[in-house]
Chain A
Amino acid sequence: MAKHKLQPDHWVDQYADYLFNYAVSRVSDAEIAKDLVQETFFAGLNSAKNYKGDAAERTWLVSILKRKVIDHYRKINSKKGKAEVRMNYSSDSEAEGDWLEQQVADPYSKDGDNVLENEELGSAIQDCITKLPQKQALVFKLKTIQGMSTEDVCNELDINPSNLWVMIHRARTALMGCLNENWF
């Protein structure tokens, strides 16, 4: 198998969004997630000499990020008093007088499953997006995730609308194929 090589100057363009999504779904805070991604890149740079080239670059970065997420939880838990689980009686008047038992999550609720499933779906889509050519991926993300208007995207990337729609079309077709294999 061909050995992989690290190319730190492409990291941000290629992996930042993927890693960011990964982090956000685990720490549920965009600011913290952003810091973790940044720390991951720094750590990757520092230990670049330990990279043996067995794993793909992204897999390797994800494994660093995983450690960073764990460290993050260790850190917030080590602050005194934070490690305990606190349960407040609900302050809203609706629930007043209810027992704590009535406030715990409904065991028959499917919400948890949905959250998990959507998280997996998110990483499946991100996976597929990273397989697209870089410019297509960028156009697709700007339109679909950021919901930017066609005009703004065209101005920012200096392309014309028909270019944009061709790229969107290619990206969507590729994503459908990719998700077909990996999701359905």
Chain B
Amino acid sequence: MKISCKEASGICDKSQYKEANLWDIIKLRIHLTYCKVCRAYSKKNSELTSLCDRAGLTMLSDDDKKKMKRDLEDKI
């Protein structure tokens, strides 16, 4: 049942992307009850996720970038 802090942070990262499975999450929860360091990490990590959601970040698609690069290279 006991997991290391390294495992715990890994599960925590995955759960930010909803990719941690239930059993892992239970193990993480148990770990968090006694590990202060991971508790702090977990809190910061979720904060980061919600900040990223709130900021409404966008990015250019790969195709757009490739096209930009091509156009730019033509001019160099």
Contact = CB atoms under 8 A, between A and B. Distances in A.
B72 A176 contact: no
Q: How large is the interface on B (under 10, 10 to 19, 20 to 34, 35 or more residues)?
A: 20 to 34
Interface string A17-39: 10011001000001000100110
B44 interface: yes
Interface residues of A, number: 36
A130 interface: no
A71 interface: no
Chain B contact residues, majority secondary structure: helix
Contact of A118 (B54, B65, B73): B54
Contact of B51 (A8, A17, A41, A125): A125
Chain A contact residues, majority secondary structure: helix
Interface string A148-184: 0010000000000000010011001001100100010
B21 interface: no
A116 interface: no
A145 B58 contact: yes
A11 interface: yes
B59 A122 contact: no
Interface of B: 9-10, 13-14, 16-17, 19, 44-45, 47-48, 51-52, 54-60, 64-65, 68-69, 71-73, 75-76
